[in-house]
Chain A
Amino acid sequence: MILQIALLAGLVLFSAFAILARDLIKSAISLAVASLFLGVIFFRMGAPYAGVFEISVVAGLITVLFVLTIALTKAEGDVRESTLARTVFPLFFVVFALIDVLVMKGLLRKVPVLAAAAEAGSFSDVLWKARTFDLVGQIAVILAGVFAVLALFRKRDHHE
């Protein structure tokens, strides 16, 4: 459990750094490291497929997309972030974390106990048989994303 808490602390710290860092590249890389921590947490919770997806897709692909966008825009210098927002964030975050830790246990006691039964079968059984509709939704979302990107990068005709 100690290692798990250390991983959670790393996840929170790197996520906070991603928000606070002035340099966008540092922010993107910090976000990738936070994803790496989250992937390892997933592995340790017995969810290897979610861990693999988190590390390969979120820490890998999304970081590449972020870095590419930052390289294509090159305009971070012209946006001045509010200094007050940056200064207040750590204080705000620490206060929230304290309240969060104190209140969360009481809140969770009020959640009605859900049925907990050990699952049978493998991940592929659950994903392909029990959650088939989710897969249809995933395919629809991927196609929507592809068409949206194609539409956004379409070269306009001179007649338009």
Chain B
Amino acid sequence: MNDAWTIYLAVAAALVLAGLYCLLTMRNLIKLFIGIEVVSKGVSLALLATGWARQSVLVAQSLVVTFIVVEVSLVATALALIINIYKNTKSLDVRKLARLKG
């Protein structure tokens, strides 16, 4: 059980790191959002794996369901924001946002 938990958490950490790397190095706004999605996959895997290792899958499962609902709301809002940014700047380049004044 403990070995499996180690493997799950190692994979979750790798996913979180890959997502953070994407957030730090990529410039396309949609790509950055894909990075956030990868981080969220790592977090939900870590949540459920820990619940599974501690024999409390039901609580972990309800937390993961809550997490997914929050994630969907976040995705919808952020993608709407990205479309609005594209309408204003005609580009998805995150560096162009630094030029905004207001």
Residues of chain A at the chain B interface (Cβ within 8 Å): 1, 4-5, 8, 11-12, 15-16, 18-19, 24, 27-28, 31, 34-35, 38, 41-42, 45-47, 49-50, 53-54, 57-58, 61-62, 65-66, 68-70, 72-73, 75-76, 78-82, 85, 89, 92-93, 96-97, 100-101, 104-105, 108, 114-119, 121-123, 125-127, 130-131, 134, 137-138, 141-142, 144-145, 148-149, 152-153
- Looking at chain B's contact residues, the main secondary structure is helix
* B27, A126: Cβ atoms closer than 8 Å: no
Residues of chain B at the chain A interface (Cβ within 8 Å): 2, 4-11, 13-15, 17-19, 21-22, 25-28, 30-31, 33-35, 37-38, 41, 44-45, 48-49, 51-52, 54-66, 68-77, 79-84, 86, 90-93
* A152, B84: Cβ atoms closer than 8 Å: yes
Q: In whole angstroms, what is the CA distance A70 to B55 when docked?
A: 41
